[in-house]
Amino acid sequence: MVYADDLSLLDTRMKKTKKQRGFTLAELVIVVSVILILSIIAFVSYRQSQYRSDVRNGAERLASDLRHAQELSRGGIVQDQSHGADSRYGVAITSPATYLVYRDVNGNIFYDAGTDDVISQETLPSRVTMVLPNKVTYSISFPVAGDSSDTFVFESGVKLNSTPFEVTFISERVHDIKRVEVKSSGVITVL
């Protein structure tokens, strides 16, 4: 004969021997939620660092190209046999996202589209723009070796008297700003 005490004892033994498997739904939801929140935070942080990097790289690249044009100009007076002009080099900012390094072929010091030789053209990433005082073409022209003149900045072919000239790089999504400054003495800095 089976007694009630024996049944409860048997039931208790079965519960102890039966192993617990899996997780409850609540535990799974909590773990997945934590992983999702951490992933979102990591993704946002990664994107912000990409935007900051693009702003910094754009400013550094413009400064590097300005220095390159300056070195080409100061490399010596090279006569262009076909035009008879000194080889003065510069950088022309043609839009908020594009600039080019040029060689002044006709000797008028500022950039003439279609006339001057384009050495290289750079386009910034789509999320970075250059902020300029006006929406026109700017030319930064460096003196040739042996020329005591200053570095010239032109706005649509008109010489600017204000120095230093500054180009600001911004990203639309992050509040990170870099500036490239060109002084009349030719000093180029990234701020």
Domains parsed from the chain with CATH numbers: 39-190 (3.55.40)
- Determine the 3-state secondary structure of 22 from DSSP: coil
pLDDT in tens, 107-131: 787 888 888 889 999 999 888 989 8
Q: What is the pTM of this model?
A: 0.76
Residue 36: per-residue pLDDT: 97
pLDDT in tens, 79-96: 444 444 457 889 999 889
18 vs 126, more confident: 126
Calculate ∠ Cα 171-41-56, nearest 5°.
Answer: 25
Residue 154: per-residue pLDDT: 81
4-20 b/e with 16+ CB inside 10 Å = b? Answer: eeeeeeeeeeeeeeeee
Instruction: Kindly state the average pLDDT of the residues 27-34.
Output: 96
β-bridge mates for residue 157, sequence order: none
C-alpha 160: how far from chain center: 26
Q: How far is CA 129 from CA 48, 76, 92, 171, 182, in A?
A: 16, 34, 15, 7, 18
